[in-house]
Amino acid sequence: MTRRADSGFTLIEVLVAFAILAVTLTSVSGALSSGMMQERAADRATARVLEARSILDRIGADLSLREPLWTGTLATGEPWSATVRPLSETGDTPFAAYDVVLTVAGGNGPALTLRTLKLGGWHGR
């Protein structure tokens, strides 16, 4: 019985094909893993900003603008502090403007600082 030389793949050709497949799959899985890690980091950063914005929104609503300093911790355990500074004396007007700066320490990411202006009434809120 005679065999033709081109009747199938040689063992070397099969091994080379598997090596190429292994390198390709390793590259793809590394890229997917890196992308997933970046997505998780972005989700954590977004959650930090949203929680800090929520705290900033509470100041003047249920946290008094008359208090010059507020402190606490985020759900991630990172400490935050907010300073409230009147921009002008109220004088004869029933309203005053306040500069509110909230800072989150950089425990689980870079330090975060948010600033806003709040309008407060004569009743101390």
What's the confidence (pLDDT) of residue 125? 45
Listed by start position, the domains of the chain span: 11-121
Collapsing DSSP to helix, strand or coil, 95 comes out as: strand
pLDDT, mean of residues 92-115: 85
Mean pLDDT, the chain, rounded, equals: 85
Instruction: Read off the pTM.
Output: 0.66
What's the confidence (pLDDT) of residue 83? 94
Of 103, 109, 99, give the one whose Cα is nearest residue 43. Answer: 109
